[in-house]
Amino acid sequence: MTVMTDRPHMLTEEFENLARIAAREIEGLRLEFIDGVMRSKAVPDSDHALIIEWLTRVCMQHRPELWLYGEQGIKVQQYRQGRAKPDGALARSGSIGGQGEWIEPDPVLMVVEVTSYDSDTDRRDRQEKPKAYAQTGIPVYLLIDRDNCLVSVYSEPDGQRYEDVHTVPFGRDIDLPDPVGITLDTEPLKDWVR
């Protein structure tokens, strides 16, 4: 049997319709469409929610004109045919209005992913997402890796990948470069890992 890898499993419009129906019919199901492949995301646990709450508070303290939008669908990849639902999307407050479920990435300054304890997290959060977000031109990708107790900041997208990646263990400070311009004290993250 020959596997077709040069074309998507379905059209973007078909995915959007399926994702809309699935979200309505199956509580907690979160679908994404990256590199022409549909994937589901794990349902976040309570510690995952606390990490997003903590990051939202940090962003509000340092940049009150911005908001960390949770689970906002974004059109990703070079031709914006992909669809991702990052755990957080940082943008100017009110800048995403009127676009529906899948927004254009232009107002997004940073996307955030918090790893879940599932078998797909390595491929999804450490390989596919950085590539998709870099292709889209989103300036900063923040990965909070609970499996390895690491925080990685990807920046300087070149259209294919992020040219700059900084990683620190939980407990160390890390800078979120411009256009975000915030230094994170990652000590609290130690409380939200298994």
- Domain ranges (residues) in the chain: 44-192
Mean pLDDT throughout 84-105? 94
Q: Which residues pair with 30 in a beta bridge?
A: 41
Mean pLDDT throughout 15-37? 79
Contact 138, 111 (CB under 8 A): yes
Question: Pick the residue with more confidence: 37 or 91?
Answer: 91
Question: Pick the residue with more confidence: 183 or 24?
Answer: 183
Contact 182, 62 (CB under 8 A): yes
Question: DSSP label at 128?
Answer: I
Mean pLDDT throughout 27-48? 80
Question: DSSP label at 129?
Answer: H
- Would you state the pLDDT for residue 6? 55
**pTM of the entire structure?**
0.86
Mean pLDDT throughout 148-163? 96
Determine the CATH number of domain 44-192. Answer: 3.90.1570.10
- Would you state the pLDDT for residue 18? 80
Mean pLDDT throughout 66-83? 89
Mind listing the pLDDT tens digit for each residue in 112-149?
A: 999 987 777 777 788 889 999 999 999 999 999 999 99
Q: Which two tokens stand for residue 156?
A: 């300087």
Q: Which residues pair with 173 in a beta bridge?
A: 185
Q: Which residues pair with 33 in a beta bridge?
A: 38, 83
Side chain identity at residue 69, one-letter code: Y
- Evaluate if residue 4 carries a pLDDT over 50: no
- Would you state the pLDDT for residue 2? 41
Give the integer Cα–Cα distance in Å for 176 and 153.
7
Side chain identity at residue 136, one-letter code: T
Side chain identity at residue 97, one-letter code: G
Contact 33, 56 (CB under 8 A): no
8, 38, 96, 117, 168 from 15: Cα distances, Å: 10, 8, 21, 25, 36
- Evaluate if residue 74 carries a pLDDT over 80: yes
E strand segments, the chain: 30-34, 37-41, 66-69, 73-76, 82-84, 88-92, 102-103, 108-114, 140-145, 150-157, 162-169, 173-176, 182-185
Q: Which two tokens stand for residue 36?
A: 């022409």
pLDDT confidence tier of residue 7, bands split at 50, 70 and 90: low
Contact 88, 129 (CB under 8 A): no
